[in-house]
A and B are shown apart, each in its own frame.
Chain A
Amino acid sequence: MEKDRRDFLKLAGSVLGLGATAPAAALASTGGRPVQEEGTHWAMVVDTRKCQAKEGCTACTDACHLAHNVPKIPEEAHEVKWIWKEKYPQAFPNQVHPYIEDSLRDRNVPVLCNHCERPPCVRVCPTQATFKDEQGIVTIDMHRCIGCRYCIAACPYGSRSFNWKDPRPYLQDIQSDYPTRTKGVVEKCNFCEERLAKGQIPACVEACVTAECGALLFGDLSDPESEVSRLLRTTNTIRRKPNLGTAPSVFYIV
């Protein structure tokens, strides 16, 4: 009787053990890298050193907010932002310590939606208004957004803004080729998918180049020969809050 039980446990143990090795083997086969779906995976590399060299520059924000009809609302509680600057310790709270070098402590870092590979905002959206498209862009279908703001609560980067009021009175120069938003919907950076569709690079990247800063680099991560892929292979880069497992598509050189 006792021997039977021992045999049973041995058998059960080996079966369970086998089951556990399968996912581990699958992960190992990709070399620890996330499994990429086919096709384009847009990504951005931000060189914070170059950005800091042009302190006070707002070219990227200005260009983005103009192109996408993002309102400038003075009350901070009602602010709407797609791309803006944060201090390094705020942008990278997990990658900071009390004795950090001065240049990092005071560094302004451009932040925007990270277009995560595993976006928490998409998981919580009850209407599937926000979703990840085939090019790795996390986007919002404004027609479906019901303004519940679950995504705002879920996003660990504060990348999303809510339209507490009608944005139009706060827009001086409404661009007629892009919509505004309406009261009651959430908005954020869309990686300029409307420009990418026309073969253009994002407005912020273009503005950064025009401002002769060159701190923003944009490209296809699924193409190993793209500029971003090469830069990521040869330079040390970090992502925001890596411990959360969201796998951002925006990388930072510090």
Chain B
Amino acid sequence: MASRDTGRIVVGLVIFLVLASFPVWFSATQGRSDYRPELEYPAGETKCVESKEYMRTWHMDLLNQWRDSVVRKGVRTYTSDAHHTDYDMSLQNTCMKCHTNKANFCDRCHDYVGVSPKCWECHVEPRGAE
């Protein structure tokens, strides 16, 4: 009972499936699905404020906590949960003193995941990037 349009329908379906599955087969053949941004870690430093895993997942929340603590409450010292060291809660004067190259650290990941934090509209990035 093949209608005279069977051929056209099959061709149309094939074209549709090829296009619809484009992300799958393109990234499988051409893409870099295993790509991970390479970050440049500060030379000579062995530990961050908290563990690497914690910082990777939660640094933005930690920074927001620091911001609220310093600006609203005037509490400026943070004690690390991981190694009980005291830190001055400051993006420019603590974080960026080690991570002196924003382009090779912050930006690499942020660009990869497509986020653009507004920190740097006011906060000054270290000269190390120049």
Chain A residues 181-231 with CB under 8 Å of chain B are 181-182, 193, 197
B92–A141 CB distance below 8 A: no
B74–A135 CB distance below 8 A: yes
Given contacts A176-B92, A178-B92, contact A133 B74 (CB under 8 A): yes
Q: Is B108's beta carbon under 8 Å from chain A?
A: no
Q: Is A246's beta carbon under 8 Å from chain B?
A: no
Given contacts A135-B74, A182-B122, contact A177 B67 (CB under 8 A): no
Residues on A with beta carbons closer than 8 Å to the beta carbon of B93 = 177
Centre residue among B122, B123, B127 by max chain A CB count within 10 A: B122
Task: Looking at the assembled complex, report how far the CB atom of A32 sits from the nearest CB atom of chain B, in whole angstroms.
Answer: 30
B70-104 contact mask (Cβ, 8 Å, vs A): 1 or 0: 01101010000000000000001100000000000
Q: Is A66's beta carbon under 8 Å from chain B?
A: no
Q: Is B38's beta carbon under 8 Å from chain A?
A: no
A177–B71 CB distance below 8 A: no
A197–B74 CB distance below 8 A: yes
Q: Is A79's beta carbon under 8 Å from chain B?
A: no
How far is it, in angstroms, between the C-alpha of A141 and the C-alpha of B71 when the chains are bound?
Answer: 6
Residues on A with beta carbons closer than 8 Å to the beta carbon of B92 = 176-179
Q: Is A238's beta carbon under 8 Å from chain B?
A: no
B124–A143 CB distance below 8 A: no
Task: Looking at the assembled complex, report how far the CB atom of A140 sits from the nearest CB atom of chain B, in whole angstroms.
Answer: 9
Residues on A with beta carbons closer than 8 Å to the beta carbon of B124 = 69, 174-176, 178-180
Given contacts A143-B71, A176-B92, A176-B127, contact A197 B122 (CB under 8 A): no
B122–A179 CB distance below 8 A: yes
How far is it, in angstroms, between the C-alpha of A59 and the C-alpha of B121 when the chains are bound?
Answer: 28
Residues on A with beta carbons closer than 8 Å to the beta carbon of B123 = 179
Residues on B with beta carbons closer than 8 Å to the beta carbon of A67 = none
How far is it, in angstroms, between the C-alpha of A135 and the C-alpha of B73 when the chains are bound?
Answer: 11
B122–A141 CB distance below 8 A: no
B126–A142 CB distance below 8 A: no
Residues on A with beta carbons closer than 8 Å to the beta carbon of B122 = 142, 179-182
Q: Is A134's beta carbon under 8 Å from chain B?
A: yes
Task: Looking at the assembled complex, report how far the CB atom of A144 sits from the nearest CB atom of chain B, in whole angstroms.
Answer: 9
Partner of A176, one of B72, B121, B126: B126
Task: Looking at the assembled complex, report how far the CB atom of B99 sits from the nearest CB atom of chain A, in whole angstroms.
Answer: 13
Residues on B with beta carbons closer than 8 Å to the beta carbon of A197 = 74, 76
B74–A134 CB distance below 8 A: yes
B residues contacting A by CB (< 8 A) are 67, 71-72, 74, 76, 92-93, 121-124, 126-127
14 residue pairs of the A-B complex, CB under 8 angstroms, read A69-B124, A131-B72, A133-B74, A134-B74, A135-B74, A139-B71, A141-B71, A175-B124, A176-B92, A176-B124, A176-B127, A179-B92, A193-B74, A197-B76
Other A-B pairs, 15, CB within 8 Å; known A139-B71, A177-B93, A197-B76: A69-B124, A131-B72, A134-B74, A135-B74, A142-B122, A143-B67, A143-B71, A174-B124, A175-B124, A176-B92, A177-B92, A179-B92, A179-B123, A182-B121, A197-B74
